[in-house]
Chains A and B, each alone.
Chain A
Amino acid sequence: MPVQQICTVVSMEQLDANTWWMVLEVGKLVFERGLCGGQFLHIKCGDGQLLRRPISVARTQWDEPEDTAALIFEVRGEGTKWLSQRKVGDKLDVLGPLGNGFNVSDGSRYLLVGGGIGVPPLIEYGESPKWSKVAVLGFRTRDKAFPAVTSRFEENCEQTYICTDDGTLGRHGFVDGQVRDIFVKDKNFTGILACGPKPMLKSIAKIAAEFGVPCQVSMEERMGCGVGACLVCAIPMKDGTMKHVCKDGPVFNAEEVDWDA
């Protein structure tokens, strides 16, 4: 159940010109309310912005006196710019935990597929010792593949494949080519956990269906309330109904989603 939580910024690390790694003290949201990676926080970004901004939780930690949650975000507009200007010790007004993370079970084996700013919400799944995993991480270019992020996968996954759109690091091309090559040799996965831009998710969903591997995708849509009351964050499903990113998602089963809408 979500609550309003006043969170203190405990660290702020700049990864590049417009990407930040922020760690918040989140009260007992992790211990008492099960806040986990892949869920999101709805953050008030100053008095100038009427709407809160949804940012995914990258990783969480039980801690004393307060639990912590790491957020990795890119500056896109006024709200995220304001967020990037916060200093250690500043307070943030946050709603959370919101949404559902990936549905995972111990002892499984997952293929984690992330693209760009969709990679951070997979970190907790990439680090967990409870299941085995292979990671495929895609970035626009070498400079966007932050070692602070990719090392978390490299240190904990059976194998981590990096792809860049421009070929400056790892495999030249999109993640879908790499995923296909993996499945041709080995499709012994409990499922795919994917997060990234919609075109990427769409093509991963297609490959997953082709190889018969269950696939969960984390989706984005513009939000109002963030809690399921206003119905603005709608995503069309194959059966003709709408589901809502903030309440039913952001993680959906790929075969439920109407990818052609």
Chain B
Amino acid sequence: MPDKKTPRPETEGIIGGATTSIALFQDRYVDMSVDLAGVILKNPVVVASGTFGFGREYGQFFDLSELGAVCCKGLTLYPREGNPAPRIAETPMGILNSVGLQNPGVDAFIEHELPFLRQYDVKIIANISGNTPEEYGIMCEKLSEAGVDMIEVNISCPNVKAGGLAYGTRPDLAAEVTREAKRHASVPVMVKLSPNVTDIAEIARAAADGGADALSLINTLRGMRIDVNTRRPILKMNTGGLSGPAVLPVAVRMVWEAATAVKLPILGMGGVSKGEDAAQLMLAGASAVAVGTALFNDPYAPLKVRDGLAQLAVRQGLGAVRDLTGGIRPW
């Protein structure tokens, strides 16, 4: 449980709205709740898979009930130790990572991590990666039964040599995995798309055809950084996935294209570090947004994004933050 003595920076002027869906700013109320494929989040701010573990660490800094949802570290059917270090390199306004899906496996998650998260009034999204469509199916069954609120199907992790990238870059495979996940899941299935494709709309449609209840995007963009003195890549895996503020414009464009292509609700992410970034993704078509890399700079980033969104909504005279979704006025 969070330490009550923990000093917590307050966003100026925001009152309430922390663990409820109503925020008050300059004497104006704003409804922060959003609907993501039938899952009601008390506010649109989610934490991105792989940047927040299973909530224990950042739960030392703030009450997890303040978030809309926690998206857990990517799970596989069996435990994985991941890639050799260095697994991170800093780049202009971003980072490259090559963690390689280190995780304790789906069973250990259900036994040891899920009960911890259940103590909080927050929606729990499990994120899964499989080597085969069957593995996705088995994990969906186990997780639905264990009572997670939603399953995010990662078809885009660029780090794992077996599978991973291929599903997310080929429409037929994306549809197949989605179908298999849907067949075994009794909670909403959200398919997480890879940005490493020429036409995101095509993959979005394939996931929709496979029966996806929602889409999330973007995962990391493949990148590389070289130390010019040693002439070696910083990452031991040579290449890795780019995230952080540098990718925000790519995320906004891809959310817009996906939202234009399909009718599904979207969890937008990629480079969000303040309320205005989140508002861009929502205007482009996202119903909710996830914050990842920004946490490494500031553990309170998700709460600042949430409060920034509330202020922006009030300033624009909106009664509900969900009114931003799809509100873009393209030329």
Contact = CB atoms under 8 A, between A and B. Distances in A.
Interface residues of B, number: 40
B89 to A, nearest CB: 8
Given A3-B7, A51-B90, A225-B51, A233 B296 contact: no
B57 A4 contact: no
Interface bin, chain A: 20 to 34
Contact of B85 (A4, A51, A221, A240): A221
B299 A242 contact: no
A2 B300 CA distance: 13
B97 A4 contact: no
Where chain B touches its partner, the secondary structure class is: loop
Contact of B57 (A51, A227, A233): A227
A261 interface: yes
Given A229-B53, A231-B53, A224 B85 contact: no
B99 interface: yes
A52 to B, nearest CB: 7
Contact of A232 (B52, B87, B93, B298): B87
B83 to A, nearest CB: 8
Interface in B122-181: none
Interface in A132-185: none
B220 interface: no
A27 to B, nearest CB: 8
Interface of B: 3, 5-7, 9, 50-53, 56-58, 60-61, 73, 81-82, 84-90, 93-95, 97, 99, 102, 234, 244-245, 293, 295-300
Interface of A: 1-5, 32, 44, 49-52, 95, 221-236, 240-242, 247, 261
29 contacts: A1-B6, A2-B61, A3-B7, A3-B61, A4-B7, A4-B61, A5-B7, A44-B298, A49-B90, A50-B93, A51-B88, A51-B90, A222-B85, A222-B86, A222-B87, A222-B234, A224-B88, A224-B97, A227-B60, A229-B52, A229-B58, A230-B99, A231-B50, A234-B87, A234-B99, A240-B81, A241-B81, A242-B81, A242-B82
